[in-house]
Structure 1
């Protein structure tokens, strides 16, 4: 009986060892990088927003609008096209700088488009709305927004790009870059406008001129621009970080508008102060622009996502970068220096733990 037991044990252990041999890979812990380097990927006009523990990234490509979803800031998920431009019409070409916002149970995408170009004189702003709360659901075209000076006459609509929206004191506002009047050349100065919204796809009242390129640090090149406005909130303060100078030059940089007091009316230009540049390139990073802001996975850090030029040659050859930023004592953002290509950056707080747990 004892011999039979020992023989059976030998056969069993031999079977197990033959069918489950430990490999060198199993003896090693999975290696996870604790740092990353800029740039993180190709592209321009980056828009990233955090919803729950997901990062939604929205961008345009080949006349369409795509989104991706990931638990990690530094690693994009699979991109899916949610909308493609029609073959004809006002929005059949030149799809620029889409942003996606979750408002009242739906995703809304604000984008610029035109019927032709160059010259890019036909750009207007359109809105898409998701049919469900799923960011990958079907989207319906809600039409073009009337960003002109006459809210009752859409035929007098005026050039508009880079729209963003924000809620403040239970009201919804839109901010965008536009022309004072419609003209026949795209070599036209751009200004920032603000307007209240009746709902996420309808403007209310009249547009208000909020900012013009007038300061020494936002002028001086061949074309004076204020564009790419993005809203940043901190405690009870609200800021609009925007791009100025020329997007195709290494001097592209960021300015800032700050609402003076929390109870001020954002539709009154006198209630805003201007400061700049608050973020710009250097000898190794060129033409930083069109930013967006997100929290780290554990919500302990603030990050700025932006694009930069790949070289100093005039043009739009750009890639996407990100880096953390802090806050000054008076509550204003401190974006620091643009971090050079290839320099190691500590990954966003909480991201490594999420990857280790396989939650992405």
Structure 2
């Protein structure tokens, strides 16, 4: 075990060029589904909070600052309950928050759909306008045919805006339903403008074997002219939760064609001391010289959703794909992000 820990630390220190200086330790806070958006010299964080969504701003990756609620869910309607995994993005002069919600509190979680909020100005702390539910189905002529969808995130590719998310093939009366990754075109940050296409299903041996096969939490990561989707797989409530990767075959490839994505994994996996790693987001260090992954992990090995949030640097393989290494054990001193 000591040899493994030493190897992990060597990897981390090589990422940061560490010699001496300020350090921090994981976990950095309680919670799950961490989200960070970097704009200028600040980092913006977003989280579910008390039946709504909260945002914070900080100059640091290691200290997220105080969350301030920016939106409360309505008392009734499709998005009145189960507010999950919000993401904050700045697009074309406005802030947008993408989130999942349902019309009934608690489980079974069969009503989850994806929605979006838009800031009325350019202030990330609002006020926000509820732009409604996003269409995540197979027949845009029938808005009522929207399908179960969570973890929606937007991204731009060759001048076109897209959305990718985790969804079901068909709406079901049980939440023990396999989850796949889907994608659709967007005509603007609040409007999906095409039927969805499926780009990934839990089919590999490292994605299956538990009580429920799923792909969820897709996050787009770009490096040079390469595009990756890093996603979570296996069950979120189990220690086997982990990250997989889709790589777009070529810089000019159409991301709406499933065959243009190459799957590999697991690319980030728990170990004897860090369990159930998943649902990540990414940022550069304050000085732009380092790449960091923000993710959550389970606090123990028993099934459940008691989780905390962690942060560590990563490298790149020779082929340009991300090298996340291994999760760093809790309370291990790590050098703070360069420039912090």
State the TM-score, normalized to the length of structure 2.
0.93
Q: Map 1:176-325 onto structure 2 (within 5 A).
A: 176-325=165-314
Measured against aligned partners, the alpha-carbon deviations of 1:251-282 in whole angstroms (never above 9, x if no partner) come to 00000000011010111111110000000100
1:103 equivalenced with 2:103 (yes/no): no
Q: Tell whether the 8 Å contact from 2:227 to 2:247 is kept in structure 1 after alignment.
A: yes
Measured against aligned partners, the alpha-carbon deviations of 1:140-183 in whole angstroms (never above 9, x if no partner) come to 00000110111111111110000011011111000000000111
1:35 equivalenced with 2:23 (yes/no): yes
Q: CA deviation at 1:235?
A: 0.4
Q: CA deviation at 1:33?
A: 7.1
Q: Map 1:30-69 onto structure 2 (within 5 A).
A: 34-69=22-57
Give 1:342's match in structure 2, choosing from 326, 331, 334. 331
Match of 2:5 in 1: none
Q: Distance in 2 between matches of 1:33 and 1:160?
A: 44
Give 1:123's match in structure 2, choosing from 105, 108, 112. 112
Q: Tell whether the 8 Å contact from 2:21 to 2:335 is kept in structure 1 after alignment.
A: no
Q: Distance in 2 between matches of 1:312 and 1:114?
A: 28
Q: Distance in 2 between matches of 1:213 and 1:256?
A: 12
Match of 2:320 in 1: 331
Unaligned ranges ≥5, structure 2: 1-19
Q: Distance in 1 between matches of 2:250 and 2:78?
A: 40
Q: Tell whether the 8 Å contact from 2:217 to 2:279 is kept in structure 1 after alignment.
A: yes
Q: CA deviation at 1:304?
A: 0.2
Q: Distance in 2 between matches of 1:199 and 1:187?
A: 33
Q: CA deviation at 1:76?
A: 1.5
Match of 1:143 in 2: 132
Q: Tell whether the 8 Å contact from 2:210 to 2:235 is kept in structure 1 after alignment.
A: yes
Measured against aligned partners, the alpha-carbon deviations of 1:273-304 in whole angstroms (never above 9, x if no partner) come to 00000001000000001000000000000000
Match of 2:163 in 1: 174
Higher RCO (C-alpha 8 Å, min separation 6):
2
Q: CA deviation at 1:137?
A: 2.1
Other structure's SS at 2:194 match:
strand
Q: Tell whether the 8 Å contact from 2:166 to 2:218 is kept in structure 1 after alignment.
A: yes
State the TM-score, normalized to the length of structure 1.
0.88
Superposed CA RMSD in Å reads: 1.0
Q: Tell whether the 8 Å contact from 2:108 to 2:174 is kept in structure 1 after alignment.
A: yes
Superposition misfits of 4+ residues, deviation over 2 angstroms: none
Q: CA deviation at 1:49?
A: 1.1
Other structure's SS at 1:205 match:
coil
CA gap of 1:209–1:222, structure 2 versus 1, over 3 A, is same
Other structure's SS at 2:144 match:
helix
Measured against aligned partners, the alpha-carbon deviations of 1:113-156 in whole angstroms (never above 9, x if no partner) come to 00113110000001000011111120000000110111111111
Measured against aligned partners, the alpha-carbon deviations of 1:67-112 in whole angstroms (never above 9, x if no partner) come to 0001111111221101010100000000000001100000000000
Q: Distance in 2 between matches of 1:276 and 1:228?
A: 15
Other structure's SS at 1:217 match:
helix
